Amino acid sequence: MDIKTVGVVGAGQMGNGIAHVFALAGYDVVLNDISVDALGRALALIAKNMDRQVSRDKISEADKAAALARISTTTTLTDLGQTDLIIEAATERETVKTAIFEDLQPHLKPETILTSNTSSISITRLASRTDRPEKFMGFHFMNPVPVMQLVELIRGIATDEPTYTALHKVVEKLGKTAASAEDFPAFIVNRILMPMINEAVYTLYEGVGNVKSIDESMKLGANHPMGPLELADFIGLDTCLAIMNVLHEGLADTKYRPCPLLTKYVEAGWLGRKTGRGFYDYRGEVPVPTR
């Protein structure tokens, strides 16, 4: 299938990045969100991020202008029905994702491919609740989307070969690298990354080290570009907790038990950078550890 038009559901951190890279690669993009303000912020952020690419000679001003012209926005979900490929990038809650696909279903073209940018939820289960499980896949981009080179392609049990092949070609056209993952909880990246972050929170919880010493140890001792607690704040502590819960419930192994301190931070609404506080307090000029 020749994919030319792409619908993106959700204009948040992941959705705007996905719209950005698809528009730059020559696809016509329809970006949807329930909030007009969120759509406005997304377009402004896309333009700002493209300006950064122009300043670094990654793209030209003409590339930027052409890409921005390819992005249209809508608060009406069903406007995405006539696109060739739909990428759901809404909040990491299965009930929300299922409702989106149910609302889209009557308005889709027969050949439209459905995908989810979920970082942990079963692709097979999401696909089974649509009318086209053979044309459904996990399409997991890394954050920040314009910078990160990897895309996880996850086949559900019913996904057919033409769908997989079509999406593999899309990843190549985006200039990114595809990694094929089986449909098990959290796939590859988060299956390895989230338990490490969770263990860092346990290390803090048990008083082995404070926020600064834990992050500095992993940056200087393991050559990580960001410490695990700093990275957790960047991802969002609510997202980290949701993925750990999926791992714990899906694999029934106590090694995936979310740290109580991670739960406590989420209950407090300290979700990281996006709320101004997490393992660091971001409300001043310089982030300050909260423990």
Residue 140 is a catalytic residue: yes
Sign of CA dihedral 247, 187, 11, 34: negative
The 5-9 sheet, strands edge to edge: 71-74, 28-32, 5-9, 85-88, 113-116, 136-141, 150-155, 177-181
**Annotated catalytic residue, options 119, 120, 122, 198:** 119
Residue 152 is a catalytic residue: yes
**Annotated catalytic residue, options 88, 92, 152, 230:** 152
What is the residue-wise DSSP string for 14-59? HHHHHHHHHHHTT-EEEEE-S-HHHHHHHHHHHHHHHHHHHHTTSS
Residue 119 is a catalytic residue: yes
Angle formed by the axes of helices 260-268 and 237-251, nearest 10°: 140
* Cα 8 from Cα 83, distance rounded (Å): 10
Q: Which residues pair with 203 in a beta bridge?
A: none
* Cα 179 from Cα 158, distance rounded (Å): 19
Active-site amino acid positions: 119, 140, 152, 190
